[in-house]
């Protein structure tokens, strides 16, 4: 079975055409596109470049709400439910939906793969907001496919089943997740992708009083949405959302933005070490920044000596492997996220081919 996996972000679109045959996965084509003219047009363009016709298409969908598990076959009724979730995902939702619609004409099954599913194991103390129950809001968590893929790869690399880990998915969107015995027990993102770490254009944790103040002093829900999703984070601190040029700059704004970014990550790591009650085996770096920048990894990991992490040899060429020193009580690893391969496998299973089928 050939499964085309489309992983749409706010500004880029990644895709992989994966042949799923039993437990064997083979990548036939992959790419990354800048979304200069919209998701639908980008998807239509990539469909014309594939070396083989897909038997199914799977789209990573960020917010699954309470209705959806890992994957769902897309029908008109499912699309209506996805549309109802768009207010919770204004940064990605409209574009992902446009890309999804651009593949329905192919005449093959279309699957939605939900980022929130991995975090459905959150215990009530990590899931609940301390607001009246009638508000019907709670924490969901995101980057679930990334967390699951690096956890499974860690098990492959170490032979340690059901591990307890802290996964740092660091990119333009960033999150930290505490995994105990193979299950997500806390994560930094909540109802939306705004909560938690400082990100490229999102603020992360913020006092709700700040939002009330902004609404009282001239902002509308629409302008506040734009401020929080597109004009905050590193962009607000240093005029740049990409960590790479910030690392090359020598000015105080860039230095402060990077320090705040790393400080917020360390703050969550400390909290999750407590959540895991000393059982954390490793700190996993993934995502564009986590995989690509040894400088950022070093700024996060080196101050964690108090937690038993002895930072070892690391450089930007380290694509996968252990980066903590021998004998380090808490290990550190770089593991590339393999969301698309995992989604392809689960989509094939959904469509009735055990392990994918031939």
Confidence (pLDDT) at 10: 65
329's tokens: 């009580």
Element (H, E) at 237: helix 233-238
Quote the pLDDT of residue 356.
Answer: 43
Place of tokens 């619609």: 101
State percent of the chain over pLDDT 70.
Answer: 97
Rounded to an integer, what distance in angstroms lies between the CA atom of residue 99 and that of residue 7?
10
Q: What is the Cα–Cα distance from 293 to 351, expressed in whole angstroms?
A: 38
Q: Can you give the pLDDT at residue 118?
A: 97
300-310 pLDDT per residue, tens: 999 999 999 99
What does the pLDDT average to over 186-206? Answer: 97
Q: H/E element holding 205?
A: none
- Beta carbons within 8 Å of 133's beta carbon, 6+ residues apart: none
Helices 93-101 and 39-47: crossing angle in degrees, nearest 10, is 40
Span 144-334: which CATH code? 3.30.420.40
Query: Quick count: other Cβ atoms within 10 Å of Cβ 307?
Result: 17
Are 167 and 284 in contact by the 8 Å Cβ rule? The answer is yes
* Residue given tokens 């170490």 in the structure block: 158
Average pLDDT, the chain: 93
Return the active site residues: 115
Q: Give the tens place of pLDDT for each residue, 166-189.
A: 999 999 999 999 999 999 999 999
Q: Which of 345, 339, 341, 300 is nearest to 323 (CA)?
A: 300
Length of the chain: 358
What pLDDT score does 358 carry?
A: 32
**Cα–Cα distance, 335 to 319 (Å, whole number):** 7
Structure tokens at 141: 């968590």
Question: Which has the closest alpha carbon to 12: 35, 38, 42?
Answer: 35
What mean pLDDT do residues 334-345 have?
96
* CATH domain 2-139 topology: Nucleotidyltransferase; domain 5 (3.30.420)
Confidence of residue 93 (pLDDT cuts 50, 70, 90): confident
Q: Report how far residue 35's alpha carbon sits from residue 283's, in angstroms, rounded to the nearest whole number.
A: 32
Higher pLDDT, 207 or 13: 207
Q: Kind and range of the H or E element at 251?
A: none
Please state which of the ranges 2-6, 57-61, 66-70 shows the lowest mean pLDDT: 66-70
Asked which of 264-268, 298-302, 309-313, 314-318 is least confident by mean pLDDT, the reply is: 314-318
Smallest CA-to-CA distance from 59 within 95, 19, 100 is with 100
Distance CA 2, CA 78 (A): 23
Judge contact between 69 and 99, C-beta under 8 A: no
Distance CA 275, CA 296 (A): 24
Query: Do residues 342 and 148 lie in contact, with contact meaning Cβ atoms separated by under 8 Å?
Result: yes
Cα–Cα dist 209/229, whole Å: 18
Among the listed ranges 68-72, 150-154, 184-188, which one has the minimum average pLDDT value?
68-72
Q: How many Å apart are CA 178 and CA 344, to the nearest integer? A: 25
Indicate whether 194 pLDDT > 90: yes
Residue intervals in the chain for CATH 3.30.420.40: 2-139, 144-334
């Amino acid at each position: 079975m050939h499964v085309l996996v489309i992983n749409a972000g706010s500004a880029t679109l990644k895709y992989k055409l994966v042949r799923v045959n039993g437990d064997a996965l083979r990548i036939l084509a992959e790419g990354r596109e800048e979304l200069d003219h919209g998701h639908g047009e980008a998807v239509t363009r990539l469909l014309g470049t594939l070396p083989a016709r897909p038997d199914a298409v799977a789209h990573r969908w960020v917010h699954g709400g309470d209705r959806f598990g890992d994957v769902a076959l897309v029908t008109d009724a499912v699309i209506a439910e996805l549309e109802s979730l768009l207010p919770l995902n204004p940064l990605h939702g409209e574009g992902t939906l446009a890309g999804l619609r651009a593949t329905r004409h192919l005449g093959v099954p279309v699957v939605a793969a939900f980022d929130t599913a991995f975090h459905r194991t959150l215990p009530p103390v990590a899931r609940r907001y301390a607001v009246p129950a009638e508000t019907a809001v709670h924490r969901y968590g995101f980057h679930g496919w990334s967390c699951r893929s690096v956890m499974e790869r860690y098990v492959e690399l170490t032979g340690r089943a059901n591990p307890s880990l802290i996964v740092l998915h660091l990119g333009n969107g960033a999150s930290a997740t505490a995994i105990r015995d193979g299950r997500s027990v806390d994560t930094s993102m909540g109802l939306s992708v705004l909560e938690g770490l400082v990100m490229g254009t999102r603020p992360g944790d913020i006092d709700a009083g700040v939002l009330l103040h902004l609404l009282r002093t001239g902002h509308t829900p629409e302008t506040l949405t734009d401020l929080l999703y597109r004009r905050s984070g590193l962009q607000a601190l240093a005029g740049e959302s990409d960590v790479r040029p910030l690392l090359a700059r020598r000015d105080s704004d860039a230095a402060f933005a990077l320090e705040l970014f790393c400080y917020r990550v360390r703050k969550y790591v400390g909290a999750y070490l407590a959540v895991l009650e000393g059982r954390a085996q490793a700190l996993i770096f993934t995502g564009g920044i986590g995989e690509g920048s040894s400088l950022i990894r070093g700024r996060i990991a080196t101050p964690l000596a108090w937690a038993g992490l002895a930072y070892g040899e690391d450089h930007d060429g380290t694509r996968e492997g252990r980066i903590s020193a021998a004998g380090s009580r808490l290990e550190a690893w770089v593991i590339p996220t393999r969301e698309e391969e995992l989604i392809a496998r689960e989509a094939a299973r959904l469509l009735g081919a055990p392990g994918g089928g031939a």
